[in-house]
Amino acid sequence: MDETKKKILVVEDERNIANLLSYHVKKAGYDCDVAYDGKTGLDMALEGGYDLLLLDIMLPRMTGFEICEQVRMKSQVPIIFVTAREEDKDKILGLETGADDYVTKPFSFTELMARVRANIRRSSGEVVRRPVQKSGVLRVGGLEIDRERYAVTKDGEPVELSKKDYDLILFLAENLGTAFTREELLEKVWGYDGYFGDIRTVDVTVSRIRKKIEQDPARPEYLMTKRGVGYYLNGR
Ligand code: CA
């Protein structure tokens, strides 16, 4: 096995989809392992040193959500959900398990692999898109963003954020008061270019962050919606 190759784990119980995913992942130049049930998938994800996980949601023995939750306790490996169209979108929107992204079946493999590449590039630090000032603490109201420890506190209390939550809040804090469209955020925070991103990914992440930092997520004071534009962080 080529040691420099990135390794991807596919957890999918439908054999034909698993085979297709594995085929496209390998064709894109990655190594690929497949697990056909959730429990095996979790064990492999925790042991295997993967660079990215592609998770189905409805799986025997353990759901993709449960896998994601368990993995997130130990690792920041990029996780993309591959979901069936009939599965409830609200479930995804309410997702607090810390996934980085999701695609909905049926999807194009071109699109999926673009997202895989973007997530791997970003997590391996190949994409440098930070502004010049990299260290130090940013303060926004009661929020403190510590760029050396990658940590956020609110009113002195630590806030548990996934890597993507942190990336988004840091980006908005570094551009305080400026509203960005969902497309712009996909490009700048997720590293997606062109039309491959799904803007709902941004909404999911925003709603997840709001639940963690806002007193009342329905009436945000920090992570604001600018009607007709997108999102910004309120400088106050
Ligand atoms: Ca399934």
pLDDT tens digits for range 38-52: 999 999 999 988 999
Predicted local distance difference test score (pLDDT) of residue 3: 54
User: Burial, 191: exposed, middle or buried (Cβ in 10 Å; 0-12, 13-18, 19+)?
Assistant: buried
Closest by CA position to 31, among listed 3, 73, 12, 58:
3
Predicted local distance difference test score (pLDDT) of residue 188: 87
Closest by CA position to 28, among listed 54, 56, 8, 58:
8
98-136 confidence digits (pLDDT tens): 788 878 777 788 888 988 988 888 777 654 433 334 468
Q: What is the mean pLDDT of residues 150-162?
A: 90
pTM of the predicted protein model: 0.62
Q: For a pLDDT cut of 70, what percent of the chain falls above it?
A: 86
Q: How far is the CA of 39 from the centre of ligand 1 (A)?
A: 13
CA angle 197, 198, 203 (to 5 degrees): 120
Given a cut of 60, whether residue 215 has pLDDT beyond it is: yes
Lowest mean pLDDT among 41-55, 56-70, 124-138, 195-209: 124-138
Q: How far is the CA of 120 from the centre of ligand 1 (A)?
A: 24
Phi and psi torsions of 88, nearest 5°: -65, 125
Q: How confident is the model at residue 137 (pLDDT cuts 50, 70, 90)?
A: confident
Predicted local distance difference test score (pLDDT) of residue 133: 45
The span from the CA of 104 to the CA of 134, in Å, is: 35
The span from the CA of 6 to the CA of 202, in Å, is: 26
Q: Is 13 in contact with 56 (CB distance < 8 Å)? A: yes
Q: How far is the CA of 107 from the centre of ligand 1 (A)?
A: 15
- To the nearest 10 degrees (0 to 180), the angle between helices 64-72 and 38-47 is 20
Given a cut of 80, whether residue 170 has pLDDT beyond it is: yes
Q: How confident is the model at residue 59 (pLDDT cuts 50, 70, 90)?
A: very high
Q: How far is the CA of 10 from the centre of ligand 1 (A)?
A: 12
Q: Which two tokens stand for residue 56?
A: 């189905």
Residues linked to residue 224 through DSSP beta bridges, in sequence order: 232
Q: What is the mean pLDDT of residues 45-73?
A: 91
Q: How far is the CA of 58 from the centre of ligand 1 (A)?
A: 4
Q: How far is the CA of 118 from the centre of ligand 1 (A)?
A: 25
HEC letters along the chain: CCCCCCEEEEECCCHHHHHHHHHHHHHCCCEEEEECCHHHHHHHHHHCCCCEEEEECCCCCCCHHHHHHHHHCCCCCCEEEEECCCCCHHHHHCCCCCCCEEEECCCCHHHHHHHHHHHHHHHCCCCCCCCCCCCCEEEECCEEEECCCCEEEECCEEECCCHHHHHHHHHHHHCCCCCECHHHHHHHHHCCCCCCCCCHHHHHHHHHHHHHHCCCCCCCCCEEEECCCEEEECCC
Predicted local distance difference test score (pLDDT) of residue 194: 55
**C-alpha torsion sign, points 218, 223, 224, 230:** negative
Q: How far is the CA of 37 from the centre of ligand 1 (A)?
A: 9
Given a cut of 50, whether residue 78 has pLDDT beyond it is: yes
Predicted local distance difference test score (pLDDT) of residue 129: 39
Mean pLDDT of the chain: 85
Predicted local distance difference test score (pLDDT) of residue 28: 93
